[in-house]
Structure 1
């Protein structure tokens, strides 16, 4: 009971220190609200109301039908311009795509002669232009097939139907919002836990703690609990009110299950942050040390790039030493696919094992730091 009281007292001290750090509080609020929305939604590269112009030199029923097929939400209502006007609009950045329909297009098509539709792409908008040109080509091909061969033919014995599970409209913000939330948990957890130890050294309060009747493991546990509670609470509020509420991203799985897995993950990351802080004496040194760790954990977690596309040896290494890899697999399964505990418990066990190893290493390192 005495040890528990010590841990609770030290945890309260850490929470008061976080409450007194207004810059950190503002950063946490920003990271889990505006930053999640800006990165996942406002910064989207999806094709959405893409500015399109049409140079119609045929003026036929078929050309009019093709123009009518270019509709929102993928494309903005197309503007019919002359060739010089379209060139000027694209040069000014007012049209990403310009479709040119040549003269006698419909007559040559019905006569069986080869015809060409030209799509001019403003390649400075790389992602939108590439996807937009592909969608426009698909739209035109489908409309031409229906116009020239109405109805099903006798040879059409097989119909291929595609359905997208878990994200029917392939909305990128559904994916990027949750991934950004997990990245924010990783970044802030490392920084907040490590900064708590550096702050003790820079302010000279670590000496005051050492003369108290507390043990090193009680200090370490209190720092993990305090920083973990703050980040876990902020991430859950962001998931419910920002990702699900404001952005409309559906959460398929149980929130309590995600909270349990996230709690295990923040313990592992907080222990890593404390371990990195034990090798440094100032915030500048800690920042230089933690930045490459953050970059590697995020880039190689499987959230930004598929884990399956990495070399086999790297996949095995990440599954052995990185809790971020297991957290991404766990969170995607719970939040996207709505799976239960029976399917994600291996990932939770792996994260718990890594957290236990990290805590043991931190305790051993922390004793050496205090002895020094």
Structure 2
């Protein structure tokens, strides 16, 4: 009981220090509101109002029909240009896609020949080029199929029906906003927990703490719990207000389960941040050390690129040394798929094991630093 009271008192001290640090308070507010909103809306890979031009050398009813089919909201109204004007416009970057319809296209199609449409793609715009070309190809195929079989009387051997689950409209904001929230939790937990230790050293107050009747594990726990509590409350508030109310992303009924998993995760990441701080003497050194750790944790978490696209050995390594991929998998299951405790118990246990291991290493390292 005495140890618990000491930890709570030290935790209150850390919370007061965070409250007095106005720069950190503004950073937390900005990251969980403005930054989350901007990334969710600006980093979208959805196809909307894509610039397309048409080179119509056929001038037939079918070519006009294909041109008229290119319309909002996926594409902008497609102007008809000459081959030279279209090439110059794409060279200037004004059109991502240029559809070229050859002469006598409709006549050759009616004659049973196999005429070809040429689609020129500006591949420097990777996401728009790939997704836009796929959407336009499907649109043209549907129009040509309807032209060849107006009543739809042709019978296909297989009728494949797609139904998108968990994100029926394929809205990128639903994914990017939540993944940005996960990244914010990782970054700020690492920085805030490590900064708590560095602040004590730079201000010379660590000596005052050491002469108090407290033990090393109480100091470590207070710093991790204080920073974790601030980040946890800020992330839940951002999830409800910015992501759910502001961006319109639906939330499942498992918010309480998410809070449990996020609490375990911030303890694990906070322990890592505090461990890094024990190897540095000032904020400059800590910043240089924490930046590559943040980059690796974010890029290999599965929130930026799928883990399945990485080599098997890298997947095994990152799942062993980092809690980030387990938290991303946990958050996606809970917030998107409304998974219950049974479905995410494995990820929770892995994060808890990593948190216990990281906390044990921090305690050993922290005692060595104090004795030194």
Shorter chain as normaliser: what TM range? Answer: over 0.9
RMSD between aligned residues: 1.8
| Structure 1 SS opposite 2:17 | helix
Q: In structure 2, do the counterparts of structure 1 residues 305 and 92 end up closer, same or farther at CA, with 3 Å as the change threshold? A: closer
Matches of 2:130 and 2:342 in 1, distance apart? 41
Give CA-to-partner distance per residue, 1:275-300, whole Å, 9 cap, x none.
11111111121122212221221222
Paired with 1:169 and 1:224, the residues of 2 have a C-alpha distance of 40
User: Take 2:248 and 2:114, find their aligned partners in 1: how far apart are those partners?
Assistant: 47
Superposed counterparts of 1:151-162, under 5 Å: 151-153=151-153, 155-162=155-162
Q: 2-side partners of 1:200 and 1:165: how far apart?
A: 49
Residue 112 (structure 1) shift: 2.1
Which range moved further: 80-89 or 288-297?
Answer: 80-89
Give, in whole Å, the separation in 1 of the partners of 2:237 and 2:156: 52
- Equivalent position of 1:208 in the other structure: 208
State the Cα distance separating 1:155 from its structure 2 match: 4.3
Deviations 1:105-127 (A, max 9, x none): 21221122332222222333222
Q: Which one is further off, 162-171 or 181-190?
A: 162-171
How far apart, CA to CA, are the structure 2 residues paired with 1:43 and 1:319?
A: 27
The two structures have a TM-score, normalised by structure 1, of: 0.94
In 1, Cα distance between equivalents of 2:316 and 2:38: 33
Deviation at 1:11, TM superposition (A): 1.2
Distance 2:108 2:198 in 1: 76
Give the deviation of 1:221 after TM superposition: 1.2
Cα distance in 1 for residues equivalent to 2:206 and 2:348: 34
Q: Output the CA distance in 1 between the equivalents of 2:236 and 2:274.
A: 23
The aligned length equals 372
Q: Corresponding residue for 1:147?
A: 147
* Cα shift readout 1:81-112 (whole Å, capped 9, x = no counterpart): 33444344333433222222233221221122
Aligned equivalents of 1:217 and 1:336: distance in 2?
37
Matching residue of 2:250? 250
TM-score normalized with structure 2 length: 0.94
Decide whether aligned partners of structure 1 residues 313 and 363 sit closer, same or farther in structure 2, where only a CA change above 3 A counts: same
- The separation in 2 between residues aligned to 1:95 and 1:278, in whole angstroms, is 53
Closer/same/farther in 2, CA of residues 157 and 116 from structure 1, 3 Å limit: closer
Aligned to 1:28: 28
Q: Is the 8 A contact 1:253 1:336 kept in 2?
A: no
**Counterpart mapping for 1:105-254 below 5 A:** 105-153=105-153, 155-254=155-254
Unaligned residue ranges in structure 1 (runs of 5+): none
More off after superposition, 269-278 vs 212-221: 212-221
Q: What is the deviation of 1:49? A: 0.7
Contact 2:100-2:118 within 8 A present in 1 as well: yes
Secondary structure of the corresponding residue to residue 38 of structure 1:
helix
Equivalent residue of 1:78, what SS? coil
CA distance in 2, matches of 1:59, 1:232: 62
SS of the residue corresponding to residue 288 of structure 1 reads helix
Residue 272 of structure 1 and its aligned partner are, at CA, apart by 0.9
Please state if 1:298 is matched with 2:294.
no
Residue 37 of structure 1 corresponds to 37
